[in-house]
Amino acid sequence: MARRYKPDSIKPSRYQLRGILLYILPFPLLLAALRGLLNDNLTLATGSGAGFILAMIAATLARKGFAIEARAKQRKIVRRTSTLPYKTLGAILLGIAVAITSWLAIGNGIIVSLLLGIAALTGFYLYYGFDPARDGTGIAAVGITSEEVLDLLDEAETKIQSIEEARARINNQELRQRLRRIVKQTRNILQTIEEDPRDARRARKFLKVYLDGAQQVTSGYARAHEHMESSELDENFRRVLATIETVIAEQQKKLMENNATELDVQIEVLQMQLEKEGIV
């Protein structure tokens, strides 16, 4: 069974608590800055305040990097190095914050302060690491970048979630079961694309056109069904779902055969049926 593709599902133990200390540890600097203001000690206030602000920014950047890292571990595809290196930037800012605090707030010399800043940066690296270098050349070599594949998968997942939300408003158990199968089979296709990004080129039109049509027809039926009960509407929707399941089976077959020619015909047939049934 293919695992469910959920780009935003991150386990709390792996991300939500990671890096919390980076927010907690700088708070004594805030107290020192306030004490400096009360005592008219501008050097202490400036050094401690600047160190606190920079440390907070560093923590925020680092946490952003942790989130990206956690999502990347759930995917076989990751973005290239063009993505901002949040963890590395956070580490550098943390080192600067320590150096400034040591120099202005504590009164150490510049050399000592620089060494302490480097020590803070090194400690961050040893404990959290920096952003990994990823060039994405393996994906670019097949004519599509990792960013394009990930954007395609994210867009498809958003549409699938919309289908699931509409499905929750439908009372007909038979239709709900059909939609559950459609969602499951579509996520299997997303998993296939994630494992072999070359399939993204063949499935791009399928995911964009088919999923958009499936989302619209499901949402349209759910809205109409809330205001009226119609056996004709149910039968039209049932026929559309049968066509959608057929298209999914064809898509999976074409991906296995590395053949996309007949797929376009199937998509056009689905589009015409959606317009004919008038559910959207």
* Band of pLDDT at residue 77, cut at 50, 70 and 90: low
Question: Would you list the domain boundaries of the chain?
Answer: 21-128, 141-277
pLDDT score recorded for residue 235: 84
pLDDT score recorded for residue 54: 94
Q: Buried b vs exposed e over 225-243: b needs ≥16 C-beta within 10 Å?
A: beeeeeeebbebbeebbeb
pLDDT digits (tens, 9 = 90+) for 150-183: 778 888 888 999 999 989 888 888 888 989 998 9
Per-residue pLDDT for 12 more than 70?
no
Residue 4 CB partners (closer than 8 Å, separation 6+): 187
Residue 63 CB partners (closer than 8 Å, separation 6+): 18, 19, 22, 90
Q: Are 77 and 139 in contact (CB under 8 A)?
A: yes
Q: Are 160 and 94 in contact (CB under 8 A)?
A: no
Residue 226 CB partners (closer than 8 Å, separation 6+): 169
Whole-model pTM over 0.85: no
DSSP state letter for 101: I
